[in-house]
Structure 1
Amino acid sequence: MAANELDDVIQRWRRTKEKDLKPEDHELFLSIAGTCIAQSDIAQLLDFIKEEKNQNIVKAMGCGLLGPLIKEVVEKKRDPVNCEAIITHLVQICRANDLLDVLLREMEDAGPDATADAIILLMQHIHLVLSRLGDSKALSLGRALDALQKQISKLPVPYSRKQEQEDKYGLCRCCTALLTFVQPFVQEVKSQETKSPVTTSNDEELRTVLLKFCMQSLREPLLEAQLDREADTSQNSALWNFATEIMAILSAIQEPLPKLLFYYPLRGKEDMGVRKQDNSHTTESRACLAYLLFVQLIAMEVFPAVFSPIFVLQCNMEYISILLSRKDESWILKGLDLYVKTLERVLDNSLPVQLLELRTFYSVPQILVKIMIECPIQHLRVKALIVFQLFIEKLNGEAKHKFFRCTMKTCQHAGVESIILKNIKNQAEHSSKSEQRDGWFEGTLLITLLRDTVNLPQGPETDLLHGMDRVMESLNLLRYLLIKERSKATAIWTDLCNIAETYIKILRMCLSMSKSYYGTELKKLHEEKRIKAKEFKEMSKKKPIQHMIVKNESLDGMPPEAQDKVLQCALVTYDLMESLVVRIEEIIEERV
């Protein structure tokens, strides 16, 4: 377009009211401005945008320039300083609602490699737009925070402290900028509460938006983040600071932590404004809140000390269950840590059997068992075992008795069953030495427990190698009890002998079949090794071959050396079992 023609168009735009501008006017304006940007005439465009005579034009049609200008800045192309100056000017004079729509759309359209840069760039301009909305900004703030958090959730969460310091994808920078973004609105809520005890609808809406923001932040990214504080560092990590500030915001907007954690399902009509945001106040968010409070002790100084440890544990069981049920390592670690910290607050032997009857309370040990058995990450399996044992130690005698019986009936895993049997032995031993005797692990009640736990689930067909841990602990338990009772004139001796003799009778049958089978397999393996060695020796005298077939089948699966080792270990284990069986029989005969 010739310069005189462009000048005529601009003059016409200056004389035309905004409502009279046509779609083709908008298209022409964007085309001219786009040409300036493409040809690096951004300084000239800035002069036009700032010229006083053009303000009506810019106010009416300037929003459309934001997209290409933001792209220039984010992608660090041509003249980003002047581009940012134009963006800032447009944000100051264009209609706030239009601006917010455009800025949020541009943020959502940012490419995966530019997500963090786009968030940080646009956050400051969105904040300026919101400040222009006055008392009607709560709804728009909610929209903006939702969009910001949605984009931030796309950024990978650092797994280690080193990754957090590198901040390759910009998550930490975005979280820090997000705190700066919300602080003025938090201060506004605090100042309004200080000025007047009467809460206006606008104040309540703003508080609700901030509460939703905090709960979403607890869910993402804080549940995924590694938040263990390092004692040897003077500077806290960005994500730790983010978690601390989120907890501080909850306190600043006067959202009581006990109300969120313990009484949320019981809220009444006075909280209907908050209940409208139920979709964001997820159980996962409150689970992270519990973790930050009870494990990391963030905001613990404002948490009332009136709740009993058992009540806190009971309330936290839902959160622990949610955390442990996920496959994510960070979730499982938080669940285990939260379980440990809440259990440690409880006195030993104080959890009654009534708690086991609660579904959420009993489901957590079952999830622990599943982690111990199935989790592919070793340190999580080990930690789950430690927490499982801590839980057992917190149960009173009756609860232990019931838990042991239930677990042995439902678990069907030799390793876990061996832990239960070892605990029965330890409990019986503790009861005999303690001044306060536990009747649940003595006399008739102990015999009842033994009948349910000291047995071979598949009878004579039990796989002793697979169930080795359970069998060894059963034999150790029987040996200990028989030695303890043989010098006493107790009524349970006969019952103990009956249980032991019944168990040993079936076990001897299993041992006989298992030793025979594994002995035969070992001889067979040695014979195959001898034949293969002979064949290889004969073949080596002839023409070399590229591939050798034994008995028309390719060797696969476990190598012969490993098979030999397993078979040898099995036979040694069976000999050990048999020695314990003989010792038990000797104890019974000595008493007779």
Structure 2
Amino acid sequence: MAEECEMEHTPGSIDDQAQAAEETLRLIKESLKFYDSKGLKKLILEEKLSDQSIYWEVATELTKHLTAENLENYTVFFESCQRCLNYLIRTGNAKELLLALLEQTDTFNDDVKWKALLEGIQQTLLKLPSKRYHSLDIALSTVHAHIKSLPEPSDHELEGEENKLLELDPEVQRITDVLLGFLVFVEPFVSEVSLNKANVDREKSKHQIAMLRKYLLLTLNHPLVFLDLAFCEKQQERKAKGYARMCVEKTVNFLCELCPDFFKTIMQCLEEIQLSKLNAKKSIEKKEEDGEETTDFIDNWAECKDEGLIPLPSLACLSYLILAEGLGQERFPAVYTHKYILEFNLQFVLLLFQKQESLIVSKGVRLLEVLIRGIAPATFTVEDLDNPNYTKTLNCLINVMIRCPVKEVRGSAVQIFSNYIKMFTLPARVQIYEMIFNTCRHAGVVGYSIQLVKDQIDATLKQEHPDTDFLGLNLKRMLMFVSQLPEGAESDLLETSDRVIPTLNLIRYLILRDPISSNITGIWSYYEELEKNFFGSLRLALDFSKSHYKLELQNFKKGKASVEKGMELGVNISVAGMPMPKVPRSQQIQIVESALNTFDLIDSLLSRIVELADSQLKASKTDTKA
């Protein structure tokens, strides 16, 4: 009889429970609709909501109100929603609530909501100590998607101390705020499998370690590589670190807890990338055989199609942080030679040089500076130049010297340029200079290289038994490269003056330093050829250029009709081959006068060379007759 009564009342009680749950859910939604904090806390916290059947819907409704707008305008209501959500997480089913929270986390325009949900996701994951692998993977993927959606910060091209102002950039502030939230989120999971804990089973935890390592490395690719991460403790002892530096230090510290050997980690990632490219190549070849259209697989700075790959920029940024910033060096083996480390990291230097952003280029410059610091002069030979990365790096360095908008970075590149060439033996240096003279069209770079050649010749001539690499035919070949006027007598000497003046200085030095009686350099063997092919054309070009600019200056000063009517002088200014905006007419006279002074200097050098050479030639003829 009792059993029959129970059977009769059970369906009714279930219906009553369902109705009660629906009513509670309705009241909660109503409280949320009218921003009723007290009513919300009464229904969930004071009455200790325990009906698991509505937890999913309640959690979903609560997360919808965790927005930046509510935090700003309804702070008490926002905090009440957070407290109620935390209660649900503590008392509810972890797996079910995790899915509900992740569903709401997939938003890329509200950092407040994303950060508010991170703690809840973290707590639900920590309630799943066993069989957490797939849940953690999904959570990290969803959370990282928001980081990946952050826009790249603007490149303000700031100089030196001005870089501290980047901390005030709203884009940078947003990035560091999001990254700090992410690092707090992953901290307990890193701690669980940390190398600092002796009782951690590395084999059992390898999946969690691999996941955490992957997503931490991905933050180095985007967005950390775009931020100013430099910090010199000696120079900034009393200065606080910026948030970007704090983010990257914490990231590297976590990686140190996960990776016993950074070099091995980088090598493994590179092998995976190469294998993926190989498989992609095979796939492309198969599609081509089938007549299908194909596209390139990976752009180093674009997102890899294979989500499992760590992109090269992440590895480049990690190398920069280890070698240039000194972070995580305890996880970098000190068993490799400086030469090997340089050769290995040139690929990362080239990658950083590919970008236009000054902060990324500066990382490449700084990394290269540190890499060559440990290399003794004349370490690399001509055979090493067969490695294309060496010439590519030199060309990229020249490009930075010419085009980088930040003066400080350009200056660093110029200093590295000479030290980079000094790494090679004398025969290799000759080959490098010939390549520069033959391919580089920037007069300033060629002129600076000529000065370096002059310094090398001077060092050679001071030796008791001079090396012949920068003398004789090699010197002649280099001089013939640099003593050519691109358009003969019609060449624009103002544009090429940075190359012409050092060339004349070199010839003058050779005539003074190496008398015709010894002719160690061989300059006197082809002096007549220089006089005929270079000096003659240069003299004509000087006459044409002087006449043109003097006429322009005369017209300007006399106020000719063409100028009075607003016509501007025919003065074109270019930097690195790029035309600059026209200067005001009030400044053009200064440009013309400066050009005439330059022509006078060239004329003076040329006259002095001819005078010195003639005196030596006459003296030589006199000695011969005697």
TM norm. shorter chain > 0.5? yes
Shift of 1:197: 5.8
Partner in structure 1 of residue 534 of structure 2: 503
Q: 2:89 aligns with which of 88, 91, 94?
A: 91
Matched, 1:304 2:300: no
**Residue aligning to 2:524:** 494
| Corresponding position of 2:125 | 130
Task: Tell me, yes or no, if structure 1 residue 56 matches structure 2 residue 55.
Answer: no
- Which amino acid in 1 is paired with 2:209? R
1:318 aligns with 2:347: yes
Q: Answer yes or no: is the 8 Å Cα contact 2:385–2:428 preserved in 1.
A: yes
The CA distance in 2 between the partners of 1:521 and 1:343, in whole Å, is 49
Number of aligned positions between the proteins = 553
Q: Tell me if structure 2 keeps the 8 A contact 1:110–1:118.
A: no
The answer on 1:336 being equivalent to 2:340 is: no
One-letter amino acid of the counterpart of residue 344, structure 2: C
Instruction: State the 1:73 CA deviation.
Output: 6.1
* 1:460-503: CA deviation from partner (whole Å, max 9, x where unpaired): 22211110010101100111112222154236243241343131
C-alpha contact 2:125 2:135 (8 A) present in aligned 1: yes
**Measured at CA, do residues 482 and 260 of structure 1 come closer, stay the same or move farther in structure 2, by a change above 3 Å?**
farther
After superposing on structure 2, the runs of 4+ consecutive aligned residues of structure 1 that deviate more than 6 Å are: 11-14, 25-29, 165-168, 267-271, 275-278, 550-553
Distance 2:395 2:456 in 1: 21
**Counterpart secondary structure, 1:346:** coil
SS state of the match for residue 465, structure 1? helix
Taking a change above 3 Å as real, the CA distance of residues 447 and 278 of structure 1, as seen in their structure-2 partners, is: farther
Aligned to 1:518, the other structure's residue is in SS state helix
The 1-side partners of 2:467 and 2:180 are apart by 56
Aligned-partner residue type, residue 185 of structure 1:
F
TM norm structure 1: 0.83
Q: Are 1:586 and 2:588 an aligned pair?
A: no
1:257 Cα offset (Å):
1.0
CA contact (8 A) 2:252 2:328 kept: yes
Q: Could you tell me which residue of structure 2 aligns to residue 65 of structure 1? A: 61
Aligned mates of 2:452, 2:274 — CA distance in 1: 49
- Cα-Cα RMSD: 3.7
The answer for unaligned runs of 5 or more in structure 2 is 1-9, 157-162, 277-303, 570-580, 618-626
Matched, 1:233 2:248: no
Q: 1:495-548: per-residue Cα shift (whole Å, max 9, x none)?
A: 241343131122112122222222333333334x15589x8xxxxxxxxxxxxx
Q: Distance in 1 between matches of 2:595 and 2:400?
A: 27
In structure 2, C-alpha distance between the alignment counterparts of 1:162 and 1:552, rounded to whole Å = 40
Distance 1:459-1:191 versus aligned 2 partners, 3 A rule: closer
Checking the alignment, whether the CA contact within 8 Å between 1:88 and 1:125 is kept in structure 2 is: yes
Instruction: Give the secondary structure class of the aligned counterpart of 1:190.
Output: coil
* Contact 2:193-2:202 within 8 A present in 1 as well: no
Report how far residue 188 of structure 1 moved. Answer: 1.8
- The amino acid across from 1:68 in the alignment is K
1:445 is aligned to 474
Q: CA deviation at 1:363?
A: 1.3
Answer yes or no: is 1:33 the counterpart of 2:62. Answer: no
Aligned counterparts of 1:27 and 1:521: Cα–Cα separation in 2: 90
Q: Is the 8 A contact 2:37 2:77 kept in 1?
A: yes
Deviation at 1:40, TM superposition (A): 4.2
Distance 1:196 1:53, change over 3 A: closer
The answer to whether the 8 A contact 2:25-2:54 is kept is no
- 1:237-263 deviation per Cα after TM superposition (whole angstroms, max 9, x unaligned): 433233223222222223521123356
Secondary structure at the counterpart of residue 336 of structure 2: coil
Q: Is the 8 A contact 2:369 2:416 kept in 1?
A: yes
> Could you tell me whether the CA contact under 8 Å between 1:525 and 1:560 is conserved in 2?
no
Residues in 1 aligned to 2:535 and 2:346: alpha-carbon distance in whole angstroms? 41
Match of 2:593 among 565, 568, 571: 568
Task: State the AA in 1 paired with 2:218.
Answer: Q
Query: How far is the alpha carbon of 1:234 from its aligned partner?
Result: 6.3
Distance change in 2, residues 1:389/1:550 (3 Å): closer
| Cα distance in 2 between the residues matched to 1:524 and 1:39 | 80
Question: Per the alignment, do residues 235 and 382 of structure 1 end up closer, same or farther by CA in structure 2, a change over 3 Å counting?
Answer: closer
Structure 1 counterpart SS, 2:229: coil
Deviations 1:411-440 (A, max 9, x none): 111111101111111111111114574321
The farther-off stretch of 283-292 and 560-569 is 560-569
Contact 1:74 1:118 (8 Å CA) reproduced: no
Q: Is the 8 A contact 2:193 2:200 kept in 1?
A: no
How far residue 319 of structure 1 moved from its aligned partner, in angstroms, is 0.8
Amino acid at match of 1:447: K
Distance 1:63 1:446, change over 3 A: same
Please show how residues 291-440 of structure 1 align to structure 2 within 5 Å.
291-434=320-463, 437-440=466-469
Distance 1:222 1:435, change over 3 A: farther
Question: Which position in structure 2 is the counterpart of 1:256?
Answer: 261
User: 2:524 matched to 1:520?
Assistant: no
State how far apart, in whole Å, the 2-side matches of 1:552 and 1:563 are.
8
Contact 1:156 1:169 in 2 (8 A): no
Superimposed CA distance per residue, residues 163-202 of structure 1 (whole angstroms, 9 cap, x where no aligned partner): 53898845434433333322221222237984476713xx
Return the alpha-carbon distance in structure 2 between the equivalents of residues 126 and 333 of structure 1: 38
Whether the 8 Å CA contact 2:319–2:345 is kept in 1: the answer is yes
TM-score, reference length from structure 2: 0.79
What amino acid does structure 2 have at the position aligned with 1:505? G
